[in-house]
Amino acid sequence: MASQTHPFSTFENSEHSEHLSHSQEQAAWVCFGVLVLLLTLGYGNMLSFTAHSWSDGLYSHGYIIPLIAAGLFWYRRKPLTAVPSMERWIGVGVLLVCLLMRLYASYYDMNPLDRMSFIGALLAITLIVGGYDMLRWAGPPLAFLIFMFPLPSALENTVLLKLQNLAAMFSTWTLQLLGVPALREGSHIIIEKLPLEVADACSGLRMGTIFGALSVALAMIIDRPWWDRLTILVFAIPVALATNVIRITLTALLYLAFPDNDAVHHYIHNWAGLAMMPIALGFLWIELTLLSKLTIPMESDDYASFSAAHG
């Protein structure tokens, strides 16, 4: 397979670029697969507990994260190269540290630390098998698995409260700008004596997590300057928040149009939730279009001519 340059992998010329033979590369991949399988079995109880959390509506996206990570891994893959023994030993050291973290976290029931040690151990295995060359292209997809984990409880409660209040505040402002008499009380919006609660499910946490994950995945695969990819990442949360505000505002307006029909309210609420992702993707398309207009790619020949003229 021809070597490719991918975003998040800017070190094109490594110190050791000697490719392995076909049989050596096959053996390395078998070794990688066996080590990942053993690691997965070793973390089985943690992964099972994580999968159980995906039944919660806030983290129901967790099922698709490993699939996206696998796709990113396959898309960014490069031929394996010879690995200096020093890099392997560094990987072994990192793996041992992660396993010790696992024991400590299991003993003291520290789930967030346990999950982070799993990601660290995956990266360590990558370093052992493929060295820094493999870590450069495989590290980001493996680290992407962090999106499948639920937030720590204390952080989740804090983020939920902040997002609920922000969503209620901006939605109230939007309704007032549209001429609707709306008042906010905490995470509740009062419209003509009709109370609307911005509940946990409507806070935007799930949407923010999903859209953040998609933005990170997109930044890994698009062939754009680093500042374009950084812009996509920076605007992920604001776009998710804006999408949620649009959802709440439209829901409030439709509730006003059908004030005494619970069946219609239930239908509106469900369909408004489903409409969030298309709206967010529309914002992302606009963002990419604007960035493509603002960014002028410089070809390598142009850069060489510029360097020669000003060198």
Which segments of the chain are extended strands (E)?
Answer: 182-185, 188-191, 194-197
* Residue-range domain boundaries for the chain: 22-150, 154-294
Whether the predicted pLDDT of 4 surpasses 60: no
Residue type, 81: T
For residue 71, give every residue at least 6 positions away whose Cβ sits within 8 Å of its Cβ, in sequence order, or none: none
pLDDT confidence band for 6 (50 / 70 / 90): low
Query: 140 and 64 in contact (C-beta within 8 Å)?
Result: no
At residue 307 the predicted structure's pLDDT band, cuts being 50, 70 and 90, is very low
Task: Calculate the CA 87 to chain-centre distance.
Answer: 28
For the stretch 60-79, pLDDT in tens is 889 999 999 999 999 999 99
Q: Determine the Cα–Cα distance for residues 195 and 198; give it in Å rounded to an integer.
A: 10
Rounded average pLDDT over 92-100: 98
Residue 288: strand, helix, or coil: helix
pTM of the model: 0.83
Residues in CB range of 77: below 8 A, 6 or more apart = 1, 137, 138
Tokens of 136: 């450069």
Can you tell me which residue has the tokens 């007032």? Answer: 176
Among candidate residues 238, 237, 216, 79, the one with its CA nearest the CA of residue 143: 216
pLDDT at res. 297 = 59
Burial 103-129 (b: 16+ CB within 10 A, else e): eebbeeeebeebbbbbbbbbbbbbbbb
